[in-house]
């Protein structure tokens, strides 16, 4: 029930904001709106106000604003309040308002989230300098080494670790050109990210790419359990944990796993860095139920920020501009085959991640909504007939050629756009279904 309600909430808000943009600019430009609907199909709730019928329809997978004289084949009375009676500039304003409202919503939501303050791993906004390469990983096979700084992954420019993680995640099992800096010189390698699975609490499965590189960071000793071996071992709060029994440590989870698989009463060798000096300290673990422990809490380097409202808006705009560039680049790579279509997500996938976010907290749900809103706004601006961007594209061609296309030509364009959109829908729904374990088990070709 949480998944369904969160999905309806997220999609409902995004569709309402999108259609509200069209509606407001219709009113601004004097175009009569016949219907404002959330959803498609049979109307389950409707109210008439003036010339407009406001309704909620049965199929909650979108919405629409029906304008007077909207399509070339609609009956035209010559009235000034019809869509096709307006200038191309006015029609452009109406068409672009929907996607623009989604993009504005993404900026507003992210700014609200930022204003609350947040803690994030310190390495995420740092250059993608490799601290460790996992044995047997695609990165090791490709020749990537600790100390390399990855600056480009495929067609994606990599400025931070966050950029790299997104670029790698979108390209599982695809051979990718990698540009990196090694010793001040630019090197070019090829790597094929391995396919990795992430399972949510609801057992939904998402496939992402991974190459096995880790950032140049270390976990640290945060605190001790009083009276346990770690406290009397010589470890001190603030020590950077470089390695455990010779195994390089990067994240807290590695420390926990490394300790957990050790034998009780056999000393574990910690190599730590304290005040610039590397030390080796043995710690003898103990048994706690089914788990091996030493009585130490590890921590990771994090960065906390809480901007002012003005700073939050600026950061949100900057963040959304960066995300837009990455989204558009990924869309281009999908068309050229340089990114995997497995990353595309449809309504079922959105419902799954909405449910997961709602179970976390409302901030996570708003963050997801901001991301989907930005994607929805940019997708609708694509020059595909049927979408807002397609109609804008047709008008642009008509303006450049200084003549309007015939009704037959526009119908053919719209049909092509419809086919493309249906192909996209089939792809994303197929992806969604493969993420559900019991349905995937019914697919013998998987």
Q: Which residues are catalytic?
A: 19
Q: How many CB atoms lie within 10 A of CB 201?
A: 9
SS3 102: helix
Burial call 321-346: b when 16+ CB within 10 Å, e when fewer:
eebbebbebbbebbeeebbbebbbbb
SS3 398: helix
Residue bearing tokens 């390495």: 123
- Angle at Cα 227 formed by Cα 223 and Cα 231, nearest 5°? 40
Those residues with Cβ within 8 angstroms of residue 130's Cβ, 6 or more apart along the chain or in another chain: 139, 144, 145, 146, 147, 148, 149, 150, 213, 214, 215, 216
SS3 241: strand
Residue bearing tokens 């309704």: 55
Q: How many CB atoms lie within 10 A of CB 411?
A: 15
Q: How many CB atoms lie within 10 A of CB 187?
A: 14
In contact, 299 and 275? CB cutoff 8 Å: no
Among residues 315, 293, 312, the alpha carbon closest in space to that of 230 is found at 293
171-177 contacts, C-beta under 8 A, 24 or more apart? 171/209, 171/333, 171/338, 171/339, 171/340, 172/196, 172/207, 172/208, 172/209, 172/210, 172/340, 172/342, 173/209, 173/340, 174/209, 174/337, 174/338, 174/339, 174/340, 176/338, 177/152
Rounded-to-integer distance, Cα 94 and Cα 91, Å: 5
Cα-based distances in Å from 367 to 199, 226, 344: 20, 39, 18
Measured in residues, the chain has a length of: 446
DSSP output for 13-81: HHHHHHHHHHHHHHHHTTPPEEEEEEEEEEEEEEEEETTEEEEEEEEEEEEEEEETT-STTS-----TT
SS3 277: strand
């Amino acid at each position: 029930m949480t998944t369904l309600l969160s999905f309806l909430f997220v999609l409902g808000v995004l569709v309402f904001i999108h259609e509200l943009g069209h509606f407001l600019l219709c009113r601004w430009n004097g175009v009569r709106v016949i219907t404002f609907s959330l959803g498609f199909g049979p109307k389950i709730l409707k109210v008439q106000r003036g010339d407009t019928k406001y309704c909620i329809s049965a199929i909650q997978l979108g919405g629409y604003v029906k304008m007077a004289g909207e399509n070339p084949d609609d009956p035209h009375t010559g009235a000034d309040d019809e869509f096709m009676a307006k200038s191309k500039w006015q029609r452009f304003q109406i068409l672009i308002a929907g996607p623009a409202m989604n993009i504005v919503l993404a900026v507003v939501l992210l700014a609200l989230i930022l204003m609350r303050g947040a803690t994030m791993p310190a390495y995420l906004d740092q250059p993608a300098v490799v601290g460790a390469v996992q044995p047997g990983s695609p990165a090791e096979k490709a020749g990537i080494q600790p100390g390399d700084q990855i600056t480009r992954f495929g067609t994606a420019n990599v400025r931070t670790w966050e950029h790299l993680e997104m670029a790698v995640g979108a390209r599982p099992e695809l051979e990718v050109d990698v540009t990196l800096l090694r010793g001040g010189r630019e090197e070019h390698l090829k790597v094929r990210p391995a396919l990795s699975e992430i399972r949510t609490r609801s057992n939904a499965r998402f496939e992402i790419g991974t190459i096995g590189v880790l950032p140049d960071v270390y976990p640290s000793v945060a605190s001790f359990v009083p009276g346990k071996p770690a406290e009397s071992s010589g470890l001190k709060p603030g020590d950077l944990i470089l390695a455990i029994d010779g195994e390089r440590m990067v994240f807290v989870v590695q420390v926990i796993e490394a300790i957990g698989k050790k034998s009780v009463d056999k000393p574990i060798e910690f190599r730590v860095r304290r005040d610039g000096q590397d030390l080796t300290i043995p710690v003898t673990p103990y048994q706690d139920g089914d788990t091996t422990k030493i009585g130490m809490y590890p921590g990771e380097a994090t960065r906390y920020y809480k901007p002012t409202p003005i700073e939050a808006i600026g950061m949100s705009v900057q963040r959304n501009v960066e995300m837009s560039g990455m989204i558009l680049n990924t869309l281009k790579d999908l068309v050229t085959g340089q990114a995997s279509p497995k990353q595309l997500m449809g309504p079922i996938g959105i419902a799954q991640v909405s449910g997961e976010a709602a179970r976390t907290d409302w901030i996570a749900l708003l963050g997801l909504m901001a991301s989907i809103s930005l994607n929805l706004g940019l997708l609708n601006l694509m020059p595909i007939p049927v979408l807002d961007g397609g109609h804008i594209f047709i008008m642009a061609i008509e303006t450049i050629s200084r003549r309007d296309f015939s009704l037959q030509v526009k119908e053919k364009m719209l049909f092509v756009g419809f086919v493309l959109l249906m192909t996209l829908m089939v792809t994303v729904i197929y992806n969604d279904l493969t993420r559900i374990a019991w349905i995937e088990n019914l697919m013998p070709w998987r």
